[in-house]
Copies of this chain bind each other. A is one copy, B any other.
Amino acid sequence: MKKGVTIKDIARKLNMSVSTVSKALNDHPSISVLTKERVKKLADEWVYIPNEAARHFKQNKSFTIGVIMPDLLDQFYVLAINGVEEVAVKNNYNVVVSQSHEDSERETGLIENMIRNRVDGVIIAVTKKTWNTEKFKRLNTAGIPMVFFSRSISAPEFDYVSTDNEDGALQAMNFLFNEGHRRIAHLMGPPFLRTSQQRFDGYKKALAQKGIPFDTGLVAEVDFTQQQTVDAVKRLMKLKDPPTAFFTFKSYVGLDVIKILREKYPKMAGKMSIIGFGNLPLIQYLEDKPMGSIDENSFQMGVEAAQLIFDRIDQQEADEEPKPKFIKVPCKIVVH
């Protein structure tokens, strides 16, 4: 193991104290210009690279925010991460991204790991199976701010950044109404997620506003696996009065619907109108596109989540208990 140059090495060479070198490198105002120059020159020559680990340790801050996402193969989360990164870079923070792979146990482990590593804040989109608040309370106890991102369990005591789920649902439904649809199925997400409830609420509200009676038979819960979506579509298509359109929790589910229709109900495939949450980059490559998507502006959501985390970090020093925030980022329908 080679070991690098340290502040001590520089101090010795220059006949200075380590404190002076440290301050010089950090441009501390009390240090003379000449000293700063000498120190920086040698640091340069010797390719001194500060040990951030040591700095963080000493300062009792990791300058790192942890992000836990269910699955990065879902481009929605990648866009969000890009937003988080942008804000983090501006604040000279690092971002550590982990995937729970929709596994709640694994998620617990990741949170534990983040606490052990003393990240300064956590942004998390929970798994589709997460309902317990236990692990989030542990973050609280450890004094680490956390915000739910996009997906949240029913726990209003935590911060939550999301798209305006209800409004997005309204936009989707109204668009479908305008296209003449009246029998619109809703494939909703896991019911213990606030997010699912909010989108479902929008669905019902849209129907009510339009004066269309709510029909439970048109709603199915899915867990985003193809299997469940297959089952749901099959059941719905067997109805006496089957739906003519689908409003799905997310576009990936909509893509599965399209695929299933193409395979099992080729006659219907072209006619069915489909809208879901998530304007995914991959849609551009599809020939058989969904009719539209709710653009959640996930990059912006990432930005807002990161900003909220930084606010919370700042507020820690003020040590007043802040009220939980629910930030809704506007969304808009995009027609393909």
Contacts and interface: CB of A to CB of B under 8 A. Distances in A.
Interface string A248-291: 00000001001100100000000000000000011011111000
A94 B113 contact: yes
A28 B110 CA distance: 26
- Which of the listed residues A49, A94, A259, A285 has the most CB atoms from chain B within 10 Å of its own CB? A285
Contacts of A35: none
A118 interface: yes
A285 B286 contact: yes
Interface residues of A, number: 53
12 contacts: A1-B317, A2-B142, A49-B116, A49-B142, A72-B72, A73-B75, A73-B281, A85-B99, A94-B117, A95-B98, A258-B285, A286-B287
Interface of A: 1-4, 47, 49-54, 56-57, 60, 62, 72-73, 75, 78-79, 81-82, 85, 94-99, 112-113, 115-118, 138, 141-143, 255, 258-259, 262, 281-282, 284-288, 316-317, 319
Nearest to A47: B141
A129 to B, nearest CB: 19
Given A52-B117, A53-B62, A54-B57, 16 more contacts: A1-B316, A49-B115, A49-B116, A49-B142, A52-B116, A53-B117, A72-B72, A72-B78, A72-B81, A73-B78, A78-B78, A95-B98, A96-B96, A258-B285, A286-B286, A286-B287
